[in-house]
Structure 1
Amino acid sequence: MSSVESQRRVVSGMRPTGRLHLGHYHGVLKNWVKLQHEYECFFFAADWHALTTLYETPQDIEQNVWDMMIDWLAAGVSGTSATMFIQSQVPEHAELNLLLSMSTPLSWLERVPTYKDQQEKLRDLDLATYGFLGYPLLMSADILVYRAGLVPVGADQLSHVEITRELARRFNHLYGKEAGFEDKARAAIQKMGKKAAKLYSNLRTAYQEKGDAEALDTARALLQEQQNITLGDKERLFGYLEGGGKVILPEPQALLTPASKMPGLDGQKMSKSYGNTITLRDTTDEVSEKVRRMPTDPARVRRTDPGDPDKCPVYQLHLVYTDKATHDWVNQGCRSAGIGCLDCKKPVIDAICTELAPMQARAVEYENNPDAVRLILTEGAERARDAARDTLAEVRQAIGLNYRRG
């Protein structure tokens, strides 16, 4: 795959935690459903990542994977529009992780912000392990093995994309300088034709001498349009443009996902650890009971007491699920005590159940046909392995591990 072509490829994974909740749907899955029709997408269950913290209690991981995958499919992620698979079924992830580990400075892993944060949050677990320290490297291998150009992440995960970029840059610096690289690059420029060659050279100068980022983007687009040079030459010119060697592992870009505005039942972020979730497969009765039990503005002790919607977790759900007219009705009715809290909760219950109904119907179909889920994941793993093998072939060749007899 060309570095320029990689910009059409997206990769993302999720740790298997079992059945998913509305926070997962609004924060991740809705975005994946959209992306799968715009890009070549690889979505995987990160079961090896689960082992970095749950290595002492792995017995739930398998069931969690199946439950999560059914929820992905129910939410609209498609095994035909995207490549869905289980991480451990594509061993190339592990091989690239190993090869990258040989040249990754230890200090790069220790400085990842989430490393110390997670150790603090998960104090009850023994995380003084090689696997936990190295999970950002495994995450980088997950991305780089597909030479993905885009990684959908929230703002709190940008550091993982940045270390992936640094690792790709370091690998290309160490192994991308093939013998006669500059001569081959200059020869490739001449193959572009006189006009395109001059434009490329001018853009390269503008970027390298003046740091003109727009010139870099224009040059990349120019390379993508070239029909009379090989993919290998494109890779050389892509690296030559930036002053490095041949690009073996393209640097991915973060595709920033809007922060999920899905609050939990207590007003905090929706999370299993807080026990404040509505799952995608909760029944109508379960949704109704959970919302009806939600706390409201503490000032409303009696039905006749006026309240303030801005201090009420239920109103946060209204902002996600109901329209402006309903918001106005809630504001007026709550502040004047014209409506009760149960009156206020009913439109939210109805809206959530309406959203979940088609997902739950699809979930039942997949629950009743586990072989269909296995087939989707088997075929997805095969497609993922094909793409990953291509990357590993180039990586081994660059390092010098492509042994030949004779």
Structure 2
Amino acid sequence: MKITQGREEKSQVGDFDRRFAERTSLGPSAVPRVRVMSGIRATGKLHIGHYFGSLRNWIALQRDYDCYFGVMDWHGMTTAYKRTAELTPWIYDIYAELLAWGLDPEKHTLFVQSLVPEHLELFMIFANLTPMGWLQRVPTWKDAEEEAKQSDTHNLGRFAYPVLQAADVAIYRGEKVPVGADQVAHLELTREIIRRFNHIYGGNLPEAAPLLTETPLVPGLDGRKMSKSYGNGVELTEESKSLSKKIRTMPTDPARVRREDPGEPTKCTVYTYHRLFSRAEDLGWVEHGCRTAGIG
């Protein structure tokens, strides 16, 4: 389309096409890539759970998708509302680490959640059309409710967390969300909220579909869920001396009371880490040594 201003012709669409082509690494006539949206909560420095759960997949996805990756500090505030001063350094640390690990802001969008006010605006609209029963049946809330009561985070923000997640996806018109198989049911709530919004208001927001990615179990050093509140994580920038100290305190199979007792590798947190980091031949040696009490 051309717009004529006196004798000068200017392309109204051409500049947009050029920017879009540059942003997606596609030619002007190429088919736009599917849009992926995902985020990491700002709860501290990135640890190995973030790497295997999100970051590794993000690095791979940016080759084939139009990606929107976020540092989600509003989500972090649901459990850190008494320590808001800590959020800013966490945001800087996470953002810097995402760049250092190879996410390319020239080709994709990296954003900080609180700097985009539309997240909360759409969250408010979604909150008004989301039945309480939908939130009460979310599996992750049922699992976390008791812990939330004990940690003084049994609040509306944490309960309505999935509604904000739905808004996070919807404002960028996300078409795919990378999740593990155990998170598909959780994403279905996002789809239901968006579907209801479209039905009530005649919208056309995409119902984001799951993009199944490999997300291996990465327990904390003590075998529980890796969490800053538990102090059982291994940061991606962990110093070697600190890392060595942490690894040496990890528990093995609790059934091995004596050194000569055989163990069961699948019950050992150390073995879980071997499965993530060790070569196949070393993994076999560890497994055999544990079961025969040859090591430990």
- TM-score when normalising by structure 2: 0.78
Matches of 1:136 and 1:317, distance apart in 2? 30
Map residues 246-285 of structure 1 onto 2, 5 A cutoff.
248-285=204-241
SS in 1 for 2:178: strand
User: Are positions 1:318 and 2:271 aligned together?
Assistant: no
SS in 2 for 1:51: helix
SS in 2 for 1:316: helix
Which residue identity lines up with residue 330 of structure 1 in the other structure? Answer: V
Would the aligned equivalents of 2:176 and 2:209 in 1 still touch at CA under 8 Å?
A: yes
**Which of the numbers 152, 157, 171 marks the counterpart of 1:125?**
152
Higher strand share: 2
SS in 1 for 2:233: coil
Matches of 2:289 and 2:65, distance apart in 1? 46
User: Are positions 1:137 and 2:163 aligned together?
Assistant: yes
Partner of 1:24: 50
Larger radius of gyration: 1
SS in 1 for 2:242: helix
Partner of 1:47: 73
Matches of 1:128 and 1:262, distance apart in 2? 27
Map residues 263-342 of structure 1 onto 2, 5 A cutoff.
263-297=219-253, 299=256, 301-302=258-259, 305=260, 307-308=262-263, 310=265, 311-336=267-292, 338=294, 340-341=295-296
Would the aligned equivalents of 1:306 and 1:334 in 2 still touch at CA under 8 Å?
A: no
Structure 2 residue runs of 5 or longer lacking an equivalent are 1-30
User: Are positions 1:36 and 2:62 aligned together?
Assistant: yes
Matches of 1:64 and 1:248, distance apart in 2? 35
User: Are residues 248 and 64 of structure 1, via their aligned partners in 2, closer, same or farther at CA, if it must alter by over 3 Å?
Assistant: same
Partner of 1:162: 188
User: Are residues 148 and 308 of structure 1, via their aligned partners in 2, closer, same or farther at CA, if it must alter by over 3 Å?
Assistant: same
TM-superposed CA distance for 1:337, in Å, is: 5.0
User: Are residues 282 and 133 of structure 1, via their aligned partners in 2, closer, same or farther at CA, if it must alter by over 3 Å?
Assistant: closer
Moved >6 Å (runs of 4+) = none
Would the aligned equivalents of 1:9 and 1:149 in 2 still touch at CA under 8 Å?
A: yes
SS in 1 for 2:60: helix
Matches of 2:280 and 2:61, distance apart in 1? 28
User: Are residues 153 and 334 of structure 1, via their aligned partners in 2, closer, same or farther at CA, if it must alter by over 3 Å?
Assistant: closer
Matches of 2:290 and 2:159, distance apart in 1? 50
TM-superposed CA distance for 1:144, in Å, is: 0.7
Partner of 2:85: 59
Would the aligned equivalents of 1:140 and 1:160 in 2 still touch at CA under 8 Å?
A: no
Structure 1 residue runs of 5 or longer lacking an equivalent are 177-246, 342-406
- TM-score when normalising by structure 1: 0.58
Higher helix share: 1
Task: Return 24-33 or 307-316, whichever deviates more.
Answer: 307-316
Matches of 2:71 and 2:237, distance apart in 1? 19
SS in 2 for 1:272: coil
Partner of 1:151: 177
Matches of 1:13 and 1:149, distance apart in 2? 14
Would the aligned equivalents of 1:11 and 1:148 in 2 still touch at CA under 8 Å?
A: yes
Q: Which has the higher contact order (CA 8 A, sep 6+)?
A: 1
Would the aligned equivalents of 2:52 and 2:215 in 1 still touch at CA under 8 Å?
A: no
Partner of 1:387: none
Which residue identity lines up with residue 51 of structure 1 in the other structure? Answer: M
Identity of aligned residues (%): 46
Matches of 1:64 and 1:286, distance apart in 2? 20
TM-superposed CA distance for 1:42, in Å, is: 0.5
Matches of 1:6 and 1:94, distance apart in 2? 28
